[in-house]
Structure 1
């Protein structure tokens, strides 16, 4: 089934959060933002991380996506950020000028990409000499950790084991990403992991509502409505009673950073 990024119904699916402080702190450590004038967010989704790049100090941010519907949502989400502009294009062909950006971000993008080589060669073309690329995604190992009160995603695969194959088939192992970055011409490649807070829910019912809406969770579009309700019931039964304790949902990510 999969999510239809071009459907107006999904226009705001990726606008409902803000970048976690742990992500902001890590980016400040691995990217010299004092040297970032022009940043590019490829696969910007709802613009959450385009705003974060601006908050971190990028003078100007270009947010690019291949879905006009998603871009509409991003424009609304970023309406107070006058230094963010928007472009329609793909990770393979952005139609942007070569050697134009000090920093290029590809967050939660490459699991939608079939051809990493073309994707990274286009990124290399766009980045100025000594500029940085930051690629963030989940490896198969990141995705398939057990479910608990923090790692809610693990329950998806516990309840529906068939999703394991779906998820594993679209996720790249770390060495594959590193090899593709090297082949594109990038150097000084570093890899790290981050447990990033996705969202804090004051009550369990708020989390279950997000699950029911499939908010920002493309894997849930592989389930029909009846299966989704079974998953919600399973998560409801599995999570510890959190009446007085917020649920801090986290995902483990792998981050690759490299220089041109």
Structure 2
């Protein structure tokens, strides 16, 4: 069954990682966020809220529709930057944020949960100052169906279970859809970038399999029964024959645009 983001048992599912150096480098190269006011929409466990602060953002509004995710985010921050982050419960279609107040908006791994992209992007445009920047990060259907490998562990999920691939594709938006929705919402100077972002480094296959069994940060695996998950672990075990450590990366598409 789909992951329940409101379940207290899932509170820390998106708090166990740090932002990858490649992500930090790309953002620093593409957007000047130092000293700026930012909004992290769909902030989840606050991994990228913290990353923005470490990049020099002056203040971040972290918004998520789940009170449990926000509790996890607060715990993840562990008292760091207490005066530079505000946590707010709300949704991407009706943000609890003032108009023309933010220099930068991040929407990472958000839009695959949404159907009405123009409405989401109109809200982002509303809260941005003129000339402000939005960065959207998600996977396209093409990203999702890249073949499995020791790097792209996620690809094995869909090779083993085509029904998971169908579920995955049904919630992903094409690049053309994203760009069109941004234009409809009033954004311009739209650019698309690709990124392989390191998700985790595992010292052994046992460490990888423990992570898979926990389903931590992998909402798609909540679609599997426990028995199916064990079959998936066995399938991946037979596929991985390379050296260790295992460096798992995820393919992403990023869209940058100006308000």
TM-score after normalising by structure 1: 0.97
Structure 2 residue runs of 5 or longer lacking an equivalent are: none
Secondary structure of the residue that 2:6 maps to in structure 1? coil
In the TM superposition, what is the alpha-carbon distance from 1:81 to its structure 2 partner?
Answer: 2.5
Q: Determine the C-alpha separation between the residues in 1 that align with 2:102 and 2:190.
A: 18
Equivalent residue, structure 2, for 1:56 = 55
1:195 aligned residue: 196
Secondary structure of 1:146's partner? coil
How far the C-alpha of 1:117 sits from its partner, in A, is 1.1
Deviation (angstroms), 1:241: 4.7
Q: Measure the CA separation in 2 of the matches of 1:239 and 1:149.
A: 6
Asked if 1:231 is matched to 2:232, the reply is yes
Tell me, yes or no, if the aligned pair for 2:151 and 2:246 is still in contact at 8 Å. yes
Q: Over residues 101-151 of structure 1, what are the superposed CA-to-partner deviations in whole Å (9 max), with x where a residue is unaligned? A: 100000000000111111001000010111100000000100111111000
Does residue 216 of structure 2 align to residue 215 of structure 1? yes
Question: 5+ unaligned residues in a row in structure 1: which ranges?
Answer: none
Find out whether 1:70 has 2:69 as its counterpart: yes
Superposition misfits of 4+ residues, deviation over 4 angstroms: none
Matching residue of 1:147: 148
CA distance in 2 between partners of 1:58 and 1:50 (Å): 10
The 3-state SS of whatever aligns with 1:162 is helix
Please list, as runs of the form range in 1=range in 2, the aligned pairs for 1:22-171 lying within 5 A after superposition.
Answer: 22-34=22-34, 36-79=35-78, 80-82=80-82, 83-171=84-172
* Alpha-carbon shift at residue 95 of structure 1 (Å): 1.8
Q: Say whether the 8 Å CA contact 1:78–1:84 is kept in structure 2.
A: no
CA distance in structure 1 between the partners assigned to 2:69 and 2:58 by the alignment: 23
The yes-or-no answer on 1:21 pairing with 2:13 is no
Q: Secondary structure at the match of 2:189?
A: strand
Counterpart position of 1:246: 245
1:177-226 Cα offsets, whole Å, 9 max, x none, are 00000000001000010011111111111111110010101111111111
SS state at 1:253 partner: strand
In structure 1, C-alpha distance between the alignment counterparts of 2:203 and 2:131, rounded to whole Å: 43
Question: How far, CA to CA, are the matches of 1:120 and 1:93 in structure 2?
Answer: 11
- Secondary structure, in 3 states, of the residue corresponding to 2:193? strand
Give the number of aligned pairs.
Answer: 257
The CA RMSD over aligned residues, in Å, is 0.9
SS at match of 1:257: strand
Cα distance in 2 for partners of 1:76, 1:172 equals 32
Contact kept? 1:54, 1:60, Cα under 8 Å:
yes
